Amino acid sequence: FSTQTPAPDLLAPAAGAELSTLEPVLRWTRVPYASGYALQLSADSVFTRLVAQSATGDTAYIPAGLTHATPYWWRVRAQFPGSQVSGWSAARRFTTPPAAPAAPVLVQPAQNAEQVPVAPLFRWQATVGASTYRLEIAADSGFTELAADPIDAITSTRYALPAENALNYMAVYHWRVRGISERGVDGEWSSAGRFTTTEQAPERPVLVRPEAGTDDLGTPAVLSWTRAARAAAYELDVATDAGFEF
């Protein structure tokens, strides 16, 4: 008489899995006394369009040459000494990820822009396949000295840096953006942008003379104020109304 040898059980990926890589690790259980395993990978559920056939002594296999956004079916059987084989395992299906989003095109700030606010508005063009974007701002062109933590999960093609995260004045910065697909696949980084932030505005002067409410200034009238930090010159307005219209 003969006995049916047990087939391996497939472990990973899970049945119906939607993958984030084109090189998944296919794993199955070890069968007692098996000398090896045969694997089939197919583009159809009846295994007439085989993509790969492999014989291995291991319980894992990494296929190569898979295409994006494509369903595949796979199965494994055990091999024993004397050419005996088990039945095929139950087949499983997985789907490869869509192609990674293309690199976005940066729009604002323009390349090598100067006098950029320290809390800039960043804008870029939408890229096919991206559901969110990641923005990085750095003090160096290699993006090893990030000015802030990477900004993730941006759902539009613009991002206004909050005032509490403002950049330094009169500093050079580099920035880049990448798209991320709905299934978490990172796209290519954009070409890096470069800009220089504006200088810090002078402090507000404090009026000293004449004191508020003075009626008789004398002639000539002497107006004075405190020196303001970072001021190179001063602009004086004198009017006959509080709205400075006359």
Residue 65 φ/ψ region, left for φ over 0, alpha for ψ in the -120 to 50 degree band, beta for the rest: left
SS3 content of the chain, % helix, strand, coil (to 5): 0, 35, 65
Q: Which two tokens stand for residue 75?
A: 């199965």
Residues of the chain under the 70 pLDDT cut: 1-4, 246
Q: Are 39 and 56 in contact (CB under 8 A)?
A: yes
In angstroms, the CA 145 to CA 165 distance is 15
Burial group, residue 176, by CB count within 10 angstroms (0-12, 13-18, 19+): buried
Report CA-CA distances (Å) from 124 to 178, 188, 202: 10, 14, 32
Which of 65, 90, 61 has the alpha carbon at shortest distance from 77? 90
Angle (CA) 20-94-14 rounded to 5° is 90
